[in-house]
Amino acid sequence: MTFKSRTAIRLADGRELIYFNEEAQSHRAGHADTRQLPPPPPTSQLRYDALVDEWVAVAAHRQTRTFLPPSDACPLCPTTARFASEIPAPDYDVVVFENQFPSFSDRVLPDEITEVTPMAPVRPGLGRCEVVCFTSDHNSAFGALTPSRVRTVVDALADRTAALSQLDGVAQVFPFENRGVEIGVTLHHPHGQIYAYPTVPPRTRAMLTAARAYLARTGNDLYTDVLAAERADGTRVVAANEHWTAYVPAAARWPFEVQLAPHRKVADIPALSDAERDAFGPLYLDVLRRFDGLFGKPMPYISAWHQAVVGEGRELGYLHLQLFSIRRAADKLKYLAGSESAMGVFINDIVPEKAAQLLREL
């Protein structure tokens, strides 16, 4: 672990906040949250869609979440004499705290309904949602972090993945970052989120089905063989080091999409070795800077960690990071229109080999 100390406090409404400090001693836990806050909202509903065998979360309280506040009222900046934020300390390195407007939580209403029709069962959206602040600098970005700070973030994600995986009812832990108003961010401060899902998400279910079928047919691990094929071919490899390879998938769905995968199969972030954690930061920062260099301005993106599920099928998981952008040209975005939104059939405007070439050449 690169962080020297880990200190946890409770915010005014009882939510947990954890400082991951890069110095051995930290006074930050001594700063109390003096705000007057209402109780956290109850958890969402999960409603079952029998037509596609999927659960949909309904979280009406999120409609009132903070939306693009001015920089002097940013809830993710350190607290000042003029503004009390979500983080009571006057400075911090990396912070993780329970989301004030969670999609999933353990706060279940006592009169929770069990169905809306016999064909549409309802259950509580048990789980947890956390916010990860990468830096106290409001005007920074993940791509501007130092490799040592990235290592602190990775260690914090490992800490939270291990803890959240132990919660009752959690099926998968999903750390991610949304960047850019084009993506739909509601806060500009550099941050990510962690969702502890109560069900296995549809994409993970599809990946597990494919991996299980491939194992039965060949006796091999699917992602291991896909990664080996990409490394051997090299056409779509953007960058690599001793422990990781960053490549554009052969069937990329997004105009610019890169997957970063460790060369050794591991289930999740906690399973990464010290050497693998150290090697991740420089490669990821390199890829992020290439993304920003494509059109000479900050690239909107989603960065998504795919980890093994907690229960059945865990042995099939292969940790990897998926980074993608909806920007397809300097002045054009890819919208998920009819085919993608209604039918789930992606049509990519950029040939994956061309995308890899453009990223390599930067």
Q: How many CA atoms lie within 13 A of 165 on its CB side?
A: 20
Q: Convert the pLDDT of each residue in 100-118 to its tens digit.
A: 999 999 999 887 889 999 9
Backbone angles phi, psi at 359, to 5 degrees: -70, -40
Residue 25: is its pLDDT beyond 70?
Answer: no
Q: Convert the pLDDT of each residue in 297-318 to its tens digit.
A: 999 999 999 999 999 999 999 9
Q: Convert the pLDDT of each residue in 262-301 to its tens digit.
A: 999 999 999 999 999 999 999 999 999 999 999 999 999 9
Q: Convert the pLDDT of each residue in 240-251 to its tens digit.
A: 999 999 999 999
Closest C-alpha to 174, from 274, 320, 332, 347: 320
Residue 64: is its pLDDT beyond 90?
Answer: no
Of the two residues 214 and 109, the one the predictor is more confident about is: 214
Annotated active-site positions, please?
A: 191
Same fold, 5-199 and 203-361: yes
65 pLDDT tier (thresholds 50, 70, 90): confident
Task: Kindly state the average pLDDT of the residues 168-180.
Answer: 97
Q: Convert the pLDDT of each residue in 117-130 to its tens digit.
A: 999 999 999 999 99
What's the pTM? Answer: 0.96
160 and 215 Cβ atoms separated by less than 8 Å: no
Task: Find the Cα–Cα–Cα–Cα dihedral 349, 352, 355, 359, rounded to 10°.
Answer: 160
Domain assignments of the chain as residue spans, ordered by start:
5-199, 203-361
Closest C-alpha to 8, from 96, 137, 131, 93: 96
Q: Mean pLDDT across the chain, nearest whole number?
A: 96
Task: Kindly state the average pLDDT of the residues 29-38.
Answer: 92
234 pLDDT tier (thresholds 50, 70, 90): very high
Specify the CATH architecture of the domain 5-199: 2-Layer Sandwich (3.30)
Superfamily of domain 203-361, CATH level 4: HIT-like (3.30.428.10)
Three-state DSSP string of 293-361? HHCCCCCCEEEEEECCCCCCCHHHCCCEEEEEECEEECCEECCCCHHHHHHCCCCCCCCHHHHHHHHHH
Q: What is the pLDDT of residue 322?
A: 98
Q: How many CA atoms lie within 13 A of 360 on its CB side?
A: 17
191 pLDDT tier (thresholds 50, 70, 90): very high
Q: CB burial class (10 A; 0-12, 13-18, 19+) of residue 359? A: buried
Long-range contacts at 207-213 (CB < 8 A, ≥ 24 apart)? 207/306, 208/309, 208/313, 208/316, 208/317, 211/313, 211/316, 212/313, 212/316
Q: What is the pLDDT of residue 297?
A: 96
